[in-house]
Amino acid sequence: MWRRRSNGGASASETREAPEAREAQQTPAEPQSDLTIDALGRKCPIPIIMLAEQINVVPLGGVVAVHADDPAAFTDIPAWCRLKSHGHVATYDLPRGGWSIHVRRNY
């Protein structure tokens, strides 16, 4: 059911936002990372293996971004972080599908 919002007399065109503005508000900008691992198109456990091989390349406290589109990586990489005592910073949607999963090196 559609309901009209009361907007204090402003016309619908004055209060409607462009689709680009809505997307920008919904998806926060992806922060910089010290290293990006491209695991797009690879099935788990390959993204985790790639992360485990490269995490020591960044300095302590550095962030590795793993780009992956396998649904298992979405849950497995944060679980790997808990298991190995690294920090799962955040997961961001990639514009063309998949995720950028950010991991902070703790040791």
Kindly name the residue from 35, 40, 44, 89 that is annotated as catalytic. 44
44 catalytic residue (yes or no) = yes
- Exposure string for 54-88, b = 16+ CB within 10 A, e = fewer: ebeebeeeebbbbbbbbeebbebbbebbeeeebee
User: 67: which strand partners?
Assistant: 38, 100
Cα dihedral 69→81→44→52 (10° resolution): 110
Picking from 47, 107, 41, 106, the residue whose alpha carbon sits closest to that of residue 76 is 47
Q: Could you give the residue numbers annotated as active site?
A: 44
